[in-house]
Structure 1
Amino acid sequence: MGRLNILLLALVIFCAMLVVEQQHAARTLFVALGQEQQAEHQIEVAFTRLQLQQVALAKGERVDEVARTRLDMNPPAPGSVVFMQLEGGFQRE
C-alpha cells in the first residue's frame, strides 16, 4: 500500500507541475497577444495618417503648385493644344 501511495503522490506532483507550466505558457502567450494587438493598432493609425497625407498631396492644387514652383512648368500655349473627338479627326483650340 505504501508504494501505491508514493506512486500516486508522485503522479499528483507531476500533474501539478504540468499545470503550473501550462499556466505560465498561457500567460506568456496572453502578454504577447496584447503586445501584438497594440502594434497592430499603431500600424492602423500610421496607415490612416498616410492615407490622409496621400489625399492631401494628390489634390489638383497641390500638383499644380509643385509643377509651377519646383518643376518650372507652365500651361501649354492655347494654339498648341489639340482636342481629339470620339469619332476621330481633330480640332484646334
Structure 2
Amino acid sequence: MARLNFVLLLAVLVSALYLVRTQYESRRLYVELEKTSAQSRKIEVENERLQVEKRAQATPLRVEQLARDRLHMRTATPAITQYVSYKDAAPAPAGGAPHE
C-alpha cells in the first residue's frame, strides 16, 4: 500500500509541476502577444500618418511649386513655345548617320 501511495504522490507532484510550467508559459505567451499587438497598432498608426503625409506632398499645387522653385521650370506659353513643322525638318540620311 505504501508503494502505491508513493507512486500516486509522485504522479500528483509531476502533474502539479507540469501545470505550473504550463501556466507560466501561457502567461509569458500572453504578455508577448500583447506587446506584439501594441507594436502592430503603433505601426498601423504610423502607416496612416505617412499615407496622409504622402497625399499632402503629392498635391498638384505642391508639385507645381517644387517644379518652379527647385527645377526652375515655368508654364509653357505661346511666346516661349517653338513649333517645328515637318517641312522645316531636314530628311534623315539612309544610313542613320547625321548630316554634317
What's the TM-score once normalised by structure 2's chain length? Answer: 0.77
The AA in structure 2 aligned to 1:32 is: E
Cα distance in 2 for partners of 1:53, 1:23 equals 45
Cα distance in 2 for partners of 1:67, 1:4 equals 90
Cα distance in 2 for partners of 1:57, 1:12 equals 67
> How large is the Cα RMSD of the aligned pairs?
1.5
Question: What is residue 90 of structure 1 aligned with on the other side?
Answer: none
Give 1:3-82 correspondences, 5 Å limit: 3-78=3-78, 80=81
The structure with more strand, counted as a fraction of residues: 1
Count how many residue pairs are aligned between Structure 1 and Structure 2: 82
Return the structure number with greater relative CO, CA threshold 8 A, min gap 6.
Answer: 1
The structure with more helix, counted as a fraction of residues: 1
Unaligned runs of 5+ in 1: 83-93
For the pair shown, the structure with the greater C-alpha radius of gyration is: 2
Cα distance in 2 for partners of 1:39, 1:78 equals 56
Tell me which stretches of 4 or more aligned residues in structure 1 moved more than 3 Å.
Answer: 79-82
Percent identity over the alignment? 37
Unaligned runs of 5+ in 2: 84-100
